[in-house]
Chain A
Amino acid sequence: MARKKYYSDMLKIDIKRAMLTSEGHTNLEIATEIKSNELLCLFGHSGAGKTTLLRILAGLTKPDKGRIIFNNTVWFDSEKKINLSPQQRNVGYMFQDYALFPNMTVEHNISFAQKIKDKKEVEKLMKLFDLDILRNQHPEKLSGGQKQRVALARALAAKPNLLLLDEPLSALDIDMRLALQYEIKKAHEILNTITLMISHDLQEVFHLAGSVIMLRNGTIINQGRTEEVLGKKPEKQIYNKYNV
């Protein structure tokens, strides 16, 4: 099921976008390159531009100017007037509310995501995320943790180029969060591509992310290995230090 890739994906971002936050107008100005197939965490206070950045990468929000290039494919170029639609970018995006389709069962939610129908692949994904017994359930009957697993399985079923997770664990209690961090790691390893995840939880960041991009007021203030950016121990003072 894992994609056989012997190369690293590359994502180049250089964009500007005006944002309206609770603190007023600000600009999102991001210029960075991600060169390895790792799980990166976007970290920063509310209104820093984390969700806007993910939406821009998915093609759901249009930057004012700049360029986004993924593996030599231009996704966005304001000068050349290129702006690939979300459909063309093939990005797995997991919303905070998981956005499972209420009219579909667990199995249908997953199979709906497939470009080419493959029942065996759906079965594999359901087994992998322990969803076998829930296959005929509708989302309204599922717990938060079960919904998260379905959303991950659905994102993987589309075989996306890039996995974007917008606070995937924020709606869950602490025990569930710990259990499902493993599922996120598993999804990232299966996909073997760049995964960008927003999180406010330092324990979570240390447990999951190899690297961190720290945002403040729309700009990157630090980027690098998790320990280098956030320090060695995820203690409470780090929250205060970064005003999170």
Chain B
Amino acid sequence: MNKDFIDTLTLTGKLAGSTTLILLAIGFPLAYILAYKRFFIKPFIEALISMPMVLPPTVLGFYLLVIYSPQNAFGRWLEQTFDLRLAFSFEGILLASVIFSLPFMIQPLQNGLISIPKSYRETAYTLGKSEFTTFIRVLMPNMIPSIITAIAMTFAHCIGEFGVIIMVGGNIPNETRVASIAIYDEVQAMNFQAANQYSFVLFIISLLILTVIFSMNGKKKILF
């Protein structure tokens, strides 16, 4: 296996892993608020989070490029404050990936929280437990399959991302060239053997992840 192949797969794993970790940190509080709190703009927030599921990736990629541009406020602020340019950089595709994979993390977590009987939460409150303790000790352990599904879906979706990455990151080796981009690039160059190698690896990883998700459906809860 050549170095390019390893580097591309490593970068793909790094992007998917980082996106999943960031989304786990953001996902729990966001899913908790959407599952249990009622507020006026909730339907709008839910619609906004779900947008990547219906929006062409190129649309999101285009708007992100506009926002990243130093000619606009956010891009200028990033450049002046942190000396950071997001367009055509790893950080840029990471942010795009986080936004684009948001519904794949939020929706399983939100559904998992909603499926837990309300009486569990309320009993914990009457026993003097705070919302945080209730979340950690009662809710999370009773939604393990939903958490695994959320992680697996997010990771798998990140690995397969193409449209947003090509728009925001282009095809820069060791920076933005992930496996899905490499497949397209190799096919364009008529290098079908390399394209096949990348495709096979993505195929196997996706199959394994989906097998994990479907095996979770058979287990209502994991006890510990």
Contact = CB atoms under 8 A, between A and B. Distances in A.
Interface of A: 58-60, 85-87, 89-93, 95, 97, 99, 101-103, 112-113, 115, 138, 154, 158, 160
B204 interface: no
A60 B221 contact: no
Q: Is the interface of B mostly helix, strand, loop or mixed?
A: helix
Which of under 10, 10 to 19, 20 to 34, or 35 or more describes the interface residues of B? 10 to 19
A92 B123 CA distance: 8
Q: Is the interface of A mostly helix, strand, loop or mixed?
A: loop
A87 B130 contact: yes
A198 to B, nearest CB: 15
A160 B117 CA distance: 23
Contacts of B138: 101, 103
B125 A103 contact: no
Given A87-B130, A112-B137, A138-B223, A99 B120 contact: yes
B129 interface: yes
A95 B119 contact: yes
A86 B127 CA distance: 8
Contacts, number: 59
B141 interface: yes
Contacts of B221: 102-103
Nearest to A157: B127
Given A87-B125, A112-B137, A97 B142 contact: no
A93 B127 CA distance: 8
B117 A158 contact: no
Contacts of B129: 87, 112
Interface string B113-152: 0000101101111111110000001100110000000000
Nearest to A89: B126
B224 interface: yes
Given A86-B126, A101-B124, A102-B223, 5 more contacts: A93-B122, A97-B119, A101-B123, A103-B138, A103-B224
B143 to A, nearest CB: 10
B145 to A, nearest CB: 12
A113 to B, nearest CB: 5
A103 B128 contact: no
A171 to B, nearest CB: 13
B122 A158 contact: no
A60 B130 contact: no
29 contacts: A58-B126, A59-B126, A60-B122, A60-B125, A60-B126, A86-B125, A86-B126, A87-B125, A87-B126, A87-B129, A87-B130, A90-B128, A91-B126, A92-B126, A93-B123, A97-B119, A101-B123, A102-B142, A102-B223, A103-B138, A103-B141, A103-B224, A112-B127, A112-B129, A112-B137, A113-B127, A115-B128, A158-B127, A160-B126
